[in-house]
Amino acid sequence: MTVYLGKHVTIVSFSRAVGICLEAAKELEHAGIEAEVINLRSLRPMDEEMIIKSVMKTNHLVTVENGWPRFGVGAEICARVIESKSRPAVDIIVACKDVGLMAGIIFTSSSAG
């Protein structure tokens, strides 16, 4: 479920981390960056179509979760976007940042504006 509409970056999260993502979206808005925040209400089934449509629009994906920085839901989301037939045909940069109890995975097109 999309809870915050934007056009520059897609932020996907679930559970308690969604609140942090909404705060981040408001902070980004002050910098002129419009973030689209997606709350995954269910992990199984995962609304893959909604995520991919948003990433196609923004060309940037950030996943945030309260879990391990690898082998988590964020890694699965990135894998599904990368393996999607709909993904942009551009270079892909994937980075993982472990911030204490939070983990974030960033997927972005290197040619995105």
Q: What is the DSSP string of 89-111?
A: SS-EEEEEEEETTEEEEEEEETT
CB 66 within 8 A of CB 78: no
Residue 6 structural domain = 2-109
In this predicted structure, the answer to whether residue 73 has a pLDDT above a threshold of 90 is no
Q: Total domain count for the chain?
A: 1
pLDDT score at 44? 87
With bands split at pLDDT 50, 70 and 90, how would you rate the model's confidence at 112?
very low
pLDDT score at 23? 92
Query: Which CATH number fits the domain that encloses residue 97?
Result: 3.40.50.920
Tell me which of 97 and 62 has the higher pLDDT.
62
With bands split at pLDDT 50, 70 and 90, how would you rate the model's confidence at 102?
low
Q: Count of residues for the chain?
A: 113
pLDDT score at 59? 86
pLDDT single digits (tens) 12-48: 999 988 999 999 999 999 999 999 999 998 888 989 9
Q: How far apart are CA 90 and CA 46, in angstroms?
A: 25
DSSP 85: T
Residue 59, helix vs strand vs coil: coil
Residues 6+ apart with CB under 8 A from 43: 14, 73
The sign of the CA dihedral 14, 107, 55, 32 is: positive
Residue 36, helix vs strand vs coil: strand
Its pTM surpasses 0.85:
no
